[in-house]
Amino acid sequence: MTKYNPNNERIKQQYLRYLKSARGRSEQTLDTVAKALYRFEVSTRFRDFRRFHVEQAIAFRRTLGEATASPETAKR
Amino acid sequence: MKRQKGRSNRHRIKALRNYTIAETSLLVGVHRRTVREWIKRGLPVLDQKRPLLIHGSDLKSFLANRKQRRKQPCQPGELFCVKCRTAKVPAGGLADYIPISPTRGSLSGICPTCNAIITQWTSLARLNELKGKLDVKTLTRQPRIVDPLVPILNCHLEATR
């Protein structure tokens, strides 16, 4: 079961709806955005978006830099 | 493509997305009232705010569990009766095996409850496991009414050349 924060999910739902309806983004783009937001939430341990702090974003970027490629990708 | 009754298209659900009831019904191919019925029967919603939102991962696991619960695997020696919708041991423990190939064939018997013919595809290897549980009689396949001696050539393929 995927973990989630209900308040964040509502905000994400509205944002994805905006991207689709107002900005005309494709379904693949929405999937990518949803996945990226999920990765950010994992790094903040699903804290409420309303309690957003710059430090969370900085820490997230650091984890992205530290993320190592899977053994299959590293071979290429 | 027409959806089969009782089967929902759960492979189109995305785990990281949220769906309203209307979106769920369109995606899965069921009526909106069916989705509300699922919620009554334990499908989790995000919170009690409106519109009700269903998390994709919850929906996926709910439908997967539902499908798993409906399955009624047959034990060795049992055949599934479509009419009674349960696995049954054929009447008198008697079954007929009709081979369709050197390794596979169909096993059929009579349902002890409704007297319908119950059939199951099986392999010769699995048939040996049934020894002692069922009295299996091997029959020969019924001959076809018209058995063409000359195989049909693919005339359409020739015509296009």
**Nearest Cβ partner for A9 among B14, B15, B18:** B18
Per-residue tokens: B111: 């349902």
CA distances from B55 to A21, B18, B61 (A): 20, 4, 10
Torsion sign across C-alpha atoms B41, B43, B46, B52: negative
pLDDT value at position B52?
96
pLDDT value at position B158?
58
Contact between B49 and A10 (Cβ < 8 Å): yes
Mean pLDDT, residues B31-58 taken together: 95
Decide if pLDDT at B143 tops 90. Answer: no
SS3 category, A49? helix
Specify the CATH class of B10-70 in words.
mainly alpha
**A16 part of contact set with chain B, CB < 8 Å:** yes
Q: Which residues of B touch A35 (CB under 8 A)?
A: 16
Give the ipTM of the model, two decimals please.
0.85
* More confident position, B71 or B16: B16
The distance of A68 to chain B (nearest Cα, Å) reads 23
Whole-angstrom distance, CA of residue A9 vs CA of residue A41: 10
pLDDT value at position B148?
66
For chain B, the structural domain boundaries read 10-70, 79-138
Mean pLDDT, residues A18-41 taken together: 96
* More confident position, B156 or B9: B9
Torsion sign across C-alpha atoms B38, B39, B45, B50: positive
Q: What is the DSSP letter of A46?
A: S
Decide if pLDDT at B108 tops 90. Answer: yes
**Nearest Cβ partner for A9 among B14, B15, B55:** B55
Mean pLDDT, residues B89-97 taken together: 93
Q: What is the 3-state secondary structure (H, E, C) of chain B?
A: CCCCCCCCCHHHCCCCCEECHHHHHHHHCCCHHHHHHHHHCCCCCCCCCCCCCEEHHHHHHHHHHHHHHHCCCCCCCCEEECCCCEEECCHHHEEEEEECCCCEEEEEEECCCCCCEEEEEEEHHHHHHCECCEEEEECCCCCCCCCCCCCCCCHHHHHHC
